[in-house]
Structure 1
């Protein structure tokens, strides 16, 4: 069969699958989302949001037809790298409620009465309330949960991360311990009082939901779209190129914030071990953060077999996905228990993941099938894994192709379809 005809059939299949995912029975209930993520209004009245948040909201709009967003609103000049959502057709029917925008714990306390007053009114005008337990200075879920309970509203809580928890290997202050302890108790109370809680990993469910287990569900968070996922034919061609004699040197990508919780310093220690052993590795680092200068300094000490390049930052989109295709594996040495979305980004391009053994990563990596897991916060274990990878490129290829199959069930649209199904089911069994 001609290649053009094959590609046509693949494109037709993708379009049909996309159309099926996009058709979701509308939910007409008044839906209020309360988040800590800020929006910005400029002097012209244009409202700006982070592009990725706007993308996620747009998926909500496909099945929620009466949508209100309450979040901190700030007045500033037009921000860079954000989009004016009031110009987007998908946002035409969305109502915005601007909450106070505190920049410190003190500000949060001073503006608390105004915040609570706005939330009380907004929740009173809604049928379904949606919030979260992560956010700064005060998680919105802490304020929303008691109000939703008093007003007897159907309450949806989403737990995507647990930033209040203490990071392994980090110097811990007494203040941090107190915040972590209080946050764990309050967040567990919020979770146990929600009608529906969606967790992005099983550990969050096990540790936070201690009552009414039937109200908790796990849906992994993913941002990939079906059209971002390469075909099996493309994957085979790309891997043929990556495993050719001219590309035998292992090529890895680290993509994330250059912060201690991301394990980037552990990765650089592992690179030093490999350099001392004369193991050939190319590592590209994509991202920015407080440890950038320290990372650059450490990388200069590697002068034998390891080569490290800093790529800066790159917007999430087609160019980013094309970049992923160049690597034999993506390395994710996280120390925290969050579940990085880069895992599914890599899967969409048939790239396996070399990761640390954390709760979040164990939940989304099939060990030795879509990637390999090594001990967390252990430079020696990570170096051993990378050395093994350099000697086993065919295994990386097979894991990459297996991860591609996993990607089709983990798209952004499929994530929202799963949320929509849960919401419909819970609404049908309640009195909302």
Structure 2
């Protein structure tokens, strides 16, 4: 158990109703609960939003009774004017929390900017053990991306400031090796801990997978593309790959787009097209947890055509169901998989390469079975709980 005063900084909001009850996203509630398993003196510094008393009806989890020592409320940024208006009040609140903490935990993401940037300003003036977690690179320019002045400035500003944050932190957790190499010249006081949200009870038994393999013979192949439907998730790559594939196959195949985002309408319209023996469907996102995993289990192949370096959690989700995955060869995906063993990787941003990989799987169903079995075996010790166990061990040995 870590007994030092621990402050977790995040942009993820907590909702507070008129009676003082506290609510947040169910996944965030789950993560807080796991922190509390090994941190006895836990506080939060995050946006607190006042809501109506019936907020529980909107699918949030109540955390009023969680053993959180204190919540330092920030004002949520909503737009440019609010960012300017909130900058100094939020900075004061961040400083207040920091002066009360012995261990402070921050990240490299969050809108409008990471709270780590505030801590960087405070670093010369306050004494604290600083742990930073780098698990996102939304700000990083992609190789295929058109460079604008705004994106150029964002990329280089984030690079400079986050490198300073990592340099002056006492413990660094990265979700992939690429991030460590990008931000650090050395590997001291670091942990590579891929982010996963899978629970042990989500992982199917090997016998269940064998039964599924036996039952799917002579049935249409079910392929799922679950994502936040936007450009950097590879939506247009999938569109083009389906068009290419439609001229190569004559077997019945179902491909489902699942998610929401700025391209959701385009995906829905695309699903109405004629692609030969390929039937394209559109599905609204399913609540993460048992409903999601029950739905995920119905599919044979999952597509992950990411363009950015980020490490999508759907990889471990699909592995937990023994599903074959076809994914782009980004650093975040390469770091947690073995090509041709538990995954098939294709060239990032190349729709022909994706179509070729899909055609290979369609023509070689035994390979799909092998990939699923290897994927299931590789996820056995990659649960969200184990991720926190690894973090606890690292913190105890690093922040002594």
Counterpart for residue 14 of structure 2: 39
Name 1:198's counterpart in structure 2: 173
Q: Is the 8 A contact 1:32 1:70 kept in 2?
A: yes
**Contact 1:238/1:325 (8 A) holds in 2:** no
Q: 1:180 offset after TM fit, Å?
A: 1.1
Is 1:241 aligned to 2:215, yes or no? yes
**Match for residue 60 of structure 2?**
82
CA distance in 2, matches of 1:155, 1:148: 9
- 1:42-95 per-residue CA deviation (whole Å, 9 max, x = no partner) reads 233222211111111111110001100101122233272222211xx4x13442
TM-align CA RMSD: 1.5
2:74 to 99, 116, 125: 99
What is the CA distance between 1:373 and its match in structure 2?
0.2
Provide the TM-score with structure 1 as the length reference. Answer: 0.88
Which has the larger displacement, 286-295 or 76-85?
A: 76-85
Segments of 4+ in structure 1 off by > 3 A?
167-172
Deviations 1:271-290 (A, max 9, x none): 01111223442111211111
**2:247 counterpart of 1:276:** yes
Higher helix proportion: 1
The structural deviation recorded for 1:149 is: 4.4
Which shifted more, 104-113 or 355-364? 104-113
Q: Which runs of 5+ in 1 are unaligned?
A: 1-25
Q: Residues 252-301 of structure 1: CA distance to partner in whole angstroms, max 9, x if unpaired?
A: 11111111111112111100111122344211121111111112222323
Counterpart-to-counterpart distance in 1, 2:241 and 2:399: 50
Whole-Å Cα distance in 1 between the matches of residues 50 and 368 of structure 2? Answer: 49
1:37 Cα deviation after fit: 1.2
Distance 1:376 1:156 in 2: 32
Q: Is the 8 A contact 1:268 1:299 kept in 2?
A: no
**1:388 pairs with 2:360:** yes
Cross-structure match for 2:83? 108
8 Å contact kept, 2:42–2:67: no
Deviation at 1:173, TM superposition (A): 2.0
For 1:62 and 1:406, locate their aligned partners in 2 and report how far apart those are by CA, in whole Å. 26
Q: Structure 2 vs 1, CA of residues 298 and 170 (structure 1 numbering), >3 Å: closer, same or farther?
A: farther
Q: What are structure 2's unaligned runs of at least 5 residues?
A: none
- SS at structure 2 position matched to 1:425: helix
Q: Give the deviation of 1:168 after TM superposition.
A: 4.1
Equivalent position of 1:343 in the other structure = 315
> Could you tell me which residue of structure 1 aligns to residue 372 of structure 2?
400
Q: Which moved more, 1:413-422 or 1:143-152?
A: 143-152
The 1:168–1:82 alpha-carbon spacing in structure 2 relative to 1, beyond 3 Å, is: farther
1: CA distance, partners of 2:224 / 2:69: 38
Distance (whole Å) between structure 2 residues aligned to residue 176 and residue 76 of structure 1: 34
Equivalent of 2:259 in 280, 283, 287: 287
